[in-house]
Amino acid sequence: MRIVVADRIAASGVEYLQRQDDFEVVEAYGSSPEEVLQLAREASAIIVRSETRITAEVIEAAPNLKVVGRAGVGVDNIDIQAASQKGVVVMNAPGGNTVATAELTFTHILCGARQIAQADASMKAGKWDRKLFGGVEVFHKTLGILGLGRIGSEIASRAQAFGMRVLAHDPYLAPARAEEMGVELLDLDAVFAEADFITVHMPLTEGTRNLIDKAAIARMRQGVRIFNCARGGIINQEDLVEAIRSGKVAYAGLDVYEKEPLPGNSELRGMQNLVLTPHLGASTQEAQESVGQEIAHSLAEALRGGVFRNALNMPSVDRKTLQALGPYFHLGETLGNFLQQIAPDQVKKLRITYFGRIVALDANPLTRNILKGYLKNISGENANSVNAPILLQQLGVENEVVKSNEARDYYDLILLEAETGDGRRYSVEGTVIGKAMLPRIVAINGRYVEAPPEGIMLLVENRDVPGIVGAIGTVLGQDGVNIAAMSLSRNRLGGLALNVVNLDSRPSDEAFQRILSSDAIESALVVAL
């Protein structure tokens, strides 16, 4: 089997693959897109870092391709959807760069306190400006960490060693877990108001894009110091430049950018109180050695038909189990994603209950897929079917799996429940129907419906009075939003009704507010799957 190593990884990783008798290793560093396309035609696997793009065209041109391995975390340069459609597994190596990124972040924090980079440039220019580069101590200062996952947790421990008070905002982290780490868990505005230093460690999602913008910076302390070694786009770069110029932000450090490489004419390059590094988060010998070996071993095992470790688009199952559970994987992932969006951010416990024929199967791969769906909007690209239980545990969320012999209305049924610390429960139930085994949501919070779990879904709870369906349809029609399907449910005549509306596009904020403003509407929520 031919393995194309398109980007340079640790030599030990390449050497490991070369020692295997059943692999032919082609080192093709610095290949052009045209050369990659040609090399892919005979490849069983391709290893990349961030330089080479594995596009749909590359995947389509590679009939023997089984695995694409990313030596690192981010997979923005790989078309995962095209790979999934062709049955190509996409794997990454998420664990190797944790310490490296944490140490780089703390280096930025220390440079932000003492202006090391600016003083160095001044000295090399022949100057001696001791008074110009006064700094501050991090001792007894307050650090705000946005996102307390693997890297955020490492930052917290280092900050505590420097005598810093550590605050954190992570809407999905259980308070007990934060207490165990010695971190104060606060809402976002409280962190903004109290922190002297703020560092970002969240995935880039629609919810975190431009999380730190002009309005957010206005709520921060005068002279705050801001750092981002996570993902470009979480901090609005234009607003950051304006805040540095005004003095609101005393100092900032960036390792990631909205567009990479950073354009040569970017305003960021001319800012005095800003240190820039070219996406060096994983650029240590140890990190590169770790991710290189990790992806080489994982890829070799996958090519030989073993377990798929750190697979982003496929559960780690053998072919026989995969065939039996296959119809439920998409259902389970969408149910998990749906539940996360209808439940509060902080959840104490998740319970998964299987009914019917699923009970006789090894449901562990399906359970992992459900957890991956639940974590999709929380952990972004970091979540997969392998690490989902660990990520959930890091959030302090319990996970219980129940197999029930209780008779239900469907041959097979998956019930997901989320329980909060104060005892509130949220649930969704789903099954597959017909010969095509189409996924369907059949109950939401105990209310019976039948809706395809796909696309944009509008959930409206209203008093059971005439005209509500027509009113909703009118508002959506005026907004140019087409209704694909609708399911209605009510608890009793004249009581509360639940409308589940599948839409072809997301309604505007104005239209949503018009629906919500009706006296008969108790609640409304848009779920995006």
324-341 pLDDT tens trace: 788 898 999 999 999 999
pLDDT in tens, 244-292: 999 999 999 999 999 999 999 999 999 999 999 999 998 899 998 999 9
Q: Are strands 456-463 and 224-228 parallel, antiparallel or unpaired?
A: unpaired
**What is the average per-residue pLDDT within 227-231?**
95
3-class DSSP state of 163: coil
Q: For residue 482, what pLDDT band results from cuts at 50, 70 and 90?
A: very high
**How much is the pLDDT for 76?**
80
Indicate the pLDDT class of residue 349, thresholds 50, 70 and 90. very high
- In the predicted model, what is the mean pLDDT of residues 309-332? 75
With a cut of 70, say whether residue 520 has pLDDT above it.
Answer: yes
146-178 burial by CB neighbour count: b if 16+ within 10 A, else e?
Answer: bbbbbbbbbbbebbeebebbbbbbbebbbeebb
At residue 380, the pLDDT reads 75
Per DSSP, helices labelled H in 277-354 are 285-303, 319-342
Closest C-alpha to 181, from 171, 170, 196, 166: 166
Catalytic residue among 201, 221, 231, 309: 231
Instruction: Give yes or no: 330 in active site.
Output: no
Quick one: pLDDT at residue 319?
Answer: 58
CA-wise closest residue to 366 among 322, 396, 397, 406: 322
- Residues of the chain above pLDDT 70, percent: 97
Mean pLDDT of 223-244: 97
Whether 19 is catalytic is no
Residue 394 pLDDT = 87
Among residues 70, 177, 225, 279, the one annotated as catalytic is: 279
- Residue 317 pLDDT > 60, yes or no? no
Contacts of 285 (CB under 8 A, 6+ apart): none
End-to-end CA distance of the chain: 37
What's the CA gap between 33 and 55, in Å, rounded?
A: 10
Mean pLDDT (whole number) for 415-429:
96
Please determine, for residue 127, whether its predicted confidence score (pLDDT) is greater than 80. yes
3-state SS record for 164-227: CEEEEECCCCCHHHHHHHCCEECCHHHHHHHCCEEEECCCCCCCCCCCECHHHHHCCCCCEEEE
Provide, rounded to the nearest whole percent, the portion of the chain with pLDDT above 90: 79
User: Could you tell me the pLDDT band of residue 75, with boundaries at 50, 70 and 90?
Assistant: confident
Stretch among 23-27, 239-243, 391-395 having the lowest mean pLDDT:
391-395
Look at 80-89, 147-156, 442-451, 498-507 and tell me which has the smallest mean pLDDT.
Answer: 80-89
**What pLDDT, on the 0 to 100 scale, is given for residue 176?**
86
Structural domain 1-95+283-313, CATH architecture: 3-Layer(aba) Sandwich (3.40)
Assess whether pLDDT exceeds 80 at residue 293.
yes
pLDDT per position as a tens digit, 11-44? 999 999 999 999 999 999 999 999 999 999 999 9
- Least confident residue range of 65-79, 250-264, 430-444: 65-79
The pTM of the full predicted model, rounded to 2 decimals, is 0.76
CATH architecture of 315-454: 2-Layer Sandwich (3.30)
Indicate if the pLDDT at residue 509 is higher than 60.
yes
Query: Where in the chain are the domains?
Result: 1-95+283-313, 98-276, 315-454, 455-529
pLDDT of residue 321: 64
Q: How confident is the model at residue 96 (pLDDT cuts 50, 70, 90)?
A: confident
CATH class of the domain at 455-529:
alpha beta
pLDDT value of position 307 = 67
In a 13 Å sphere around the CA of 37, the CA atoms on its Cβ side amount to: 9
Pairing of strands 425-433, 438-444: antiparallel
Query: For the residues 490-506, what does the mean pLDDT come to?
Result: 90
Q: Helix (H, G, I), strand (E, B), or coil: what is residue 485?
A: strand
Mean predicted confidence (pLDDT) in 70-91:
85
Question: Cα separation of 37 and 61, whole Å?
Answer: 7
pLDDT digits (tens, 9 = 90+) for 154-193: 999 999 999 999 999 998 888 888 999 999 999 999 999 9
Element at 147 (helix H, strand E):
none
Choose the catalytic residue: 179, 260, 398, 510. 260
Sign of CA dihedral 37, 39, 42, 46: negative
More confident residue, 438 or 389: 438
When pLDDT is cut at 50, 70 and 90, the band that residue 322 belongs to is low
Least confident interval from 42-51, 214-223, 225-234, 302-311? 302-311
Same CATH topology for 1-95+283-313 and 455-529: the answer is no
315 falls in which pLDDT band (50, 70, 90)? low
CATH code of domain 98-276: 3.40.50.720
CA dihedral 491, 494, 498, 500 (to 10 degrees): 120
Query: Does residue 490 carry a catalytic annotation?
Result: no
Average pLDDT for 81-109: 88
